[in-house]
């Protein structure tokens, strides 16, 4: 009460304190902004480091996929009483026999049927020239006749560019060969000593957080294992469908094209479509428009079966990521590491998603879960 207040009167309203600046909402936004800025900087430099070390990063990721694919075979031999060394050797022998058999069959079939495809393309060339002259384009006959000569002149004019491309291709081939050797070495080490490697890495985490880290690693390993095996089933389905279709139509290179379509299935959304278009092109060149339309129809039905049956029940049960995340991961992986990055993008994102979920749901304290071995 002040001197101006009447006795017994209630005090007047107190003056409100001046509002502080910035306001609460702006302070919260600022707190999140600098944290996101630091996190984004760390991610940026981590990605830059990975791009510089791609010759080691990509083979390691591929070795993880191969190890996840071969682990059931290794466990089969271990359950039969073989030592880990002998089981690893037997697993590698099985893989070499299967892969070598597929490669040999592809090479033999390609060598046998490539001349047939060449003869059919040569017989198709006069029809294409006639269509260019008499069809809707109405090209000049002289221009069509000199088309091969023009192409030869263009090749001779750009010989330097072709030479540099050949050198670049040779360098890439050496990198691929070195990567294959590194993948083989890493796969052997992961098959033989994977649990010990995981235990060693786990000891680097703080003791209270080890159960949570172990649960995250176990969940990530389960995801990558089911992803690889499920994708292999999808790839086999695509390859069998294409092989049967091309064989019935009498199209050459049916088995090599089927293997190519199966490998393309390891790139989600676009891989099977892109390689399937190659099969459509070969069908059109060898047997005409009707055969190409039939192959397109089979590819459409095949993709619908994959999208509504195979992916939800074979792969989607263990790999729960939104299609938007799949598209963004594919784009980022392809921009950073090319076709290998596109192949590795989805399983990498799926593993991170599973690991984060498992770590979030697991307590900090608890018994140590055995290292993933299956």
Looking at the predicted structure, is the pLDDT value of residue 145 above 70? Answer: no
Q: Is residue 45 part of a domain?
A: no
pLDDT the model gives residue 114: 60
Please state the domain count of the chain: 1
pLDDT of residue 197: 87
Residue 179 has pLDDT above 70, yes or no: yes
Confidence class for position 161, pLDDT limits 50, 70, 90: low
| Residue 237 included in any domain | yes
pLDDT tens digits, one per residue of 101-113: 877 777 776 666 6
Reported as half-sphere exposure (CB side, CA atoms, 13 A), residue 276 has a value of: 25
Q: What is the average pLDDT across 148-153? A: 55
Out of 93-102, 147-156, 238-247, 337-346, which region has the weakest mean confidence (pLDDT)?
147-156
The mean predicted confidence, pLDDT, of the chain is 76
39 assigned to some structural domain: no
Q: Residue 170 above 80 pLDDT?
A: no
Check if the beta carbon of residue 237 is closer than 8 Å to that of residue 310: yes
Which of 72-81, 194-203, 312-321, 334-343 shows the lowest mean pLDDT across its residues? 312-321
pLDDT, tens only, 256-287: 888 888 888 877 767 778 888 888 888 887 77
Mean pLDDT across the stretch 166-192? 77
pLDDT level of residue 163 (50, 70, 90 thresholds):
very low
pLDDT above 90: percentage of residues in the chain: 2
Mean pLDDT of 216-224: 88
Q: Domain limits at 305?
A: 51-145+164-188+208-361
Q: Mind spelling out the 3-state secondary structure of the chain?
A: CCCCCCCCCCCCCCCCCCCCCCCHHHHHHHHHHHHHHHHHHHHHHHHHHHHHCHHHHHHHHHHHHHHHHHHHHHHHHHHCCCCHHHHHHHHHHHHHHHHHHHHHHHHHHHHHHHHHHHHHHHHHHHHHHHHHHHCCCCCCHHHHHCHHHHHHHHHHHCHHHHHHHHHHHHHHHHHHHHHHHHHHHHHHHHHHHHHHHHHHHHCCCCHHHHHHHHHHHHHHHHHHHHHHHHHHHHHHHHHHHHHHHHHHHCCCCHHHHHHHHHHHCCCCCCHHHHHHHHHHHHHHHHHCHHHHHHHHHHHHHHHHHHHHHHHHHHHCCCCCCCHHHHHHHHHHHHHHHHHHHHHHHHHHHHHHHHHHHHHHHCCCCCCCCCCCCC
Residue 25 lies in a domain: no
Confidence (pLDDT) at 316: 63
Apex 92 CA angle, 193 and 221, nearest 5: 50
Phi, psi for 70 (deg, rounded to 5)? -90, -10
Name residue, tokens 């480091």. 49
Question: Both tokens of residue 223?
Answer: 């995801």
97 falls within a domain: yes
What's the whole-model pTM score? 0.68
Task: Kindly state whether residue 107 falls inside one of the protein's structural domains.
Answer: yes
Q: Tell me whether residue 156 is in a domain.
A: no
Task: Give CA–CA dist 350/61, Å, rounded.
Answer: 14
What confidence tier does 373 reach under pLDDT thresholds 50, 70, 90? low
Cis link prior to 275 (omega < 30° from 0)?
Answer: no
Confidence of residue 368 (pLDDT cuts 50, 70, 90): very low
* Tens-digit pLDDT profile for residues 7-59: 555 555 555 545 555 667 787 887 788 888 898 888 888 878 877 777 888 88
Query: What tens digit of pLDDT does each residue of 286-297 get?
Result: 777 888 889 889
Other Cβ atoms within 10 Å of 142 Cβ, number: 7
Looking at residue 22, its pLDDT comes to 60
Question: For residue 235, is it within any domain?
Answer: yes
Look up tokens 């079939």; give the residue. Answer: 109
Residue predicted with more confidence, 30 or 219: 219
Report the pLDDT value the prediction gives residue 3, as an integer from 0 to 100.
45
How many Å apart are CA 202 and CA 187, to the nearest integer?
Answer: 20
pLDDT of residue 1: 47
Q: Give Cα 251 to chain centroid, integer Å.
A: 29
Give the whole-angstrom CA distance, residue 310 versus residue 306. Answer: 5
pLDDT band at 166 (very low <50, low <70, confident <90, very high): very low
How much is the pLDDT for 139?
A: 61
**Cα distance between residue 138 and residue 132, in whole Å:** 6
Q: Which has the closest alpha carbon to 253: 279, 291, 218?
A: 279
Burial class (CB in 10 A: 0-12, 13-18, 19+), 205: middle
356 pLDDT band, cuts 50/70/90, is: confident
The residue among 314 and 365 whose pLDDT is bigger is 314
pLDDT at 243 over 60: yes
């Amino acid at each position: 009460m002040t001197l101006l207040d009447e006795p017994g009167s209630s005090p007047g309203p107190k003056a409100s304190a001046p509002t502080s600046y910035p306001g609460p909402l702006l302070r919260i936004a600022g707190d999140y902004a600098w944290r996101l800025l630091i996190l984004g900087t760390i991610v940026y430099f981590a990605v830059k480091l990975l791009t510089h070390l791609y010759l080691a990063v990509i083979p390691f990721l591929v070795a993880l996929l191969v190890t996840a694919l071969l682990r059931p075979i290794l466990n089969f031999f271990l359950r039969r009483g073989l030592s880990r060394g002998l089981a690893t050797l037997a697993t590698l022998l099985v893989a070499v026999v299967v892969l070598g058999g597929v490669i040999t069959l592809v090479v033999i079939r390609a060598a046998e049927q490539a001349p047939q495809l060449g003869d059919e393309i040569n017989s198709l060339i006069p029809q294409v020239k006639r269509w260019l002259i008499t069809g809707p384009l109405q090209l000049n006959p002289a221009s069509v006749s000199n088309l091969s000569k023009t192409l030869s002149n263009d090749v001779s004019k750009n010989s330097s560019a072709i030479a540099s491309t050949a050198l670049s291709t040779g360098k890439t081939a050496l990198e691929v060969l070195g990567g294959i050797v590194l993948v083989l070495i890493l796969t052997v080490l992961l098959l033989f000593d994977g649990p010990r490697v995981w235990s060693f890495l786990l000891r680097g985490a703080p003791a209270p957080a080890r159960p949570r880290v172990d649960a995250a690693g176990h969940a990530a390993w389960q995801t990558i294992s089911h992803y690889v095996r499920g994708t292999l089933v999808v790839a086999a389905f695509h390859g069998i469908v294409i092989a049967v279709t091309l064989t019935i139509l009498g199209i050459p290179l049916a088995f090599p094209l089927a293997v190519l379509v199966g490998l393309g299935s390891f790139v989600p959304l676009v891989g099977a479509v892109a390689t399937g278009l190659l099969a459509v092109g070969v069908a059109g060149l060898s047997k005409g428009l009707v055969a190409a339309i039939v192959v397109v129809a089979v590819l459409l039905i095949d993709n619908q079966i994959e999208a509504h049956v195979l992916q939800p029940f074979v792969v989607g049960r263990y790999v729960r990521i939104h299609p938007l995340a799949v598209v963004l991961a594919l784009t980022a992986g392809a921009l950073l590491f090319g076709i290998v990055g596109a192949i590795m993008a989805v399983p990498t994102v799926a593993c991170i998603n599973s690991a984060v979920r498992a770590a979030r749901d697991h307590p900090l304290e608890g018994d140590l879960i055995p290292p993933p071995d299956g």
